[in-house]
Amino acid sequence: LGLEVADLQPLPSLSPTGAHHPMLRTVRHLLFPDLSSYGAEPGMGLLDPDPAEHARELLAAAKPHHRRAVELALCDLYGRRAEAIVRLPRGVERALAHRLLHDPRDLPLLLNFIQCGLWLAFSLTLQLTLLPRDGGLSARAVGLFVVHVVVTWAILGQRFILGMHFAAHRTLISPRVPGAALLNALPQLVLANFWGMPAGMYYLHHVVMHHASNNLFSWDLSGTNSYRRDSPLALLHYIANFALHTFLYLPYYAVVKRRFGLAGFALGSTGAYFAAFHALHAYHPAAFWISLGFSSVLGPVALMAGNFGQHQFINPADPADNYGLTVNLVKAPFNMLTFNDGYHIVHHLNSVCHWSEMPLQFIKNLDKYEKHDALVFHSLDYNEMSALIYTRQLRKLASYCVQLRAEPRTTDQLVALFEERLQPLPQAGAPLDLPKKSIFGLQQLLWLGLYAGGMPSAIFPALMVPVFAALSLVEA
């Protein structure tokens, strides 16, 4: 769009440089979108009639000590979206946006699901046709595995997982479309399995449990408050806890919350998930391990490492305050891949806020962010932020902090604030009582039984049982 803000200050880039060939630039931008200029497409239905004028108005209305935050958030508000790699003819996209979608602004979300479905169908077809059913490890199998993992996880992983995340919070396909309920369920029922998230479990886990219990363990199984969140060992324990105990804990949680329909659906979908895994492994072991088996291990690790990073900083003064239990990451390239996932405070304040509006909601409520002493960083994704925490580089992390106070903190003061918000807060949540411990123990026995009964994909959680026990002793 050619939009320029004269006072916008340059930021250090964390993405690779030096790729000048057009093809190399294209490949690089699949993983590291260019945030050097504005440029979302008006045809994607995301923009105001005059974004340049809107940007000037927002900057003019900002308090002097908030101006920097506004400048940075504008890059996400009007950045060139990169979620959809596969594009359709403009007329087709326009028809899909206005005839199929509940909100036309979700066209990138729909295109993202289409490209993920097309890729999975193509990759699985190659595996089933090029690899023999009874064949063992071969160069062809290794090649197909490498290609599948690179495309599925490195290129499409963030795009799909965060696309499914926002589609779980807001209706994607308009209810007036025949079969809308089934179409809206497809990402969670079918596609999610290829990213290690069992059919039908994500909504119960994320929307019903995580947001309702608001990151407070033990009701929220993915709560981070009880951990020392600058410890890699704590992260491993957190991942193991989730990987081991999800399948039975989520139906238990639903029953306790009197969501009996969801509990029954979770148990039924879990049974179908295990049956489908067993059947595909028996039919074609190589295709199973390439498409589903590997992801069933990597998925929980990636999902929980990401959630741990999102909730690594917690304000001990009020651990349930949405401004203090997570962070916002602004002008970060990954926002263009993940439907603005960096705006996690905004998301916890209003989980149905449209992803395209999140930077604007941040800008409009900067006074509240300042009042609640919220943490905001620029140019980092959650993994990069976490890496600085685990390697004790808090002073370097302070250089990426976007301060919202009229009198900014010094670096030493920021480091002290970071250390305070990384301390474990077990008193903030509920104790791990006998019913929950019983569910955990039963789930561990179930994993061991499934592996002993010949289910190969149960090997990872079965091995995690003694690891979890050892880490529990260390953490204690």
Query: What is residue 27's predicted lDDT score, i.e. its pLDDT?
Result: 61
Burial group, residue 258, by CB count within 10 angstroms (0-12, 13-18, 19+): exposed
C-alpha to C-alpha distance for 130 and 337, rounded to whole angstroms:
32
pLDDT by position in tens, the chain (length 476): 333 433 333 333 334 444 455 555 556 667 777 665 555 554 454 545 577 788 889 999 999 999 999 999 999 999 889 999 999 999 999 999 999 999 999 999 999 999 999 999 999 999 999 999 987 889 999 999 999 999 999 999 999 999 999 999 999 999 999 999 999 999 999 999 999 999 989 999 999 999 999 999 999 999 999 999 999 999 999 999 999 999 999 999 999 999 999 999 999 999 999 999 989 999 999 999 999 999 999 999 999 999 999 999 999 999 999 999 999 999 999 999 999 999 999 999 999 999 999 999 999 999 999 999 999 999 999 999 999 999 999 999 999 999 999 999 999 999 999 999 999 999 999 889 999 999 999 999 999 999 999 888 899 999 999 999 999 998 76
Query: What is residue 209's predicted lDDT score, i.e. its pLDDT?
Result: 97
Taking residue 157's Cβ as centre, other Cβ atoms within 10 Å add up to 22
Q: Taking Cα atoms as reference points, which of 388, 194, 188 lies closest to residue 302?
A: 194
Q: How far is CA 213 from CA 221, 343, 353, 354, in A?
A: 9, 19, 19, 22
Query: What is residue 141's predicted lDDT score, i.e. its pLDDT?
Result: 96
Query: What is residue 8's predicted lDDT score, i.e. its pLDDT?
Result: 39
Euclidean distance between the first and the last CA atom of the chain, given in angstroms as a whole number: 55
Residues contacting residue 266 through CB under 8 Å, at least 6 positions apart:
200, 201, 204, 250, 251, 254
β-partners of residue 375 are 327
C-beta of residue 133 within 8 angstroms of C-beta of residue 105? no
| Residue keyed to tokens 């990426």 | 400
Q: Look up the pTM and report it.
A: 0.92
DSSP 82-129: -S--S---HHHHHHHHHHTBSSGGGHHHHHHHHHHHHHHHHHHHHHHH
Estimate the share of the chain in helix, then strand, then coil, as percent rounded to the nearest 5.
Answer: 65, 5, 35
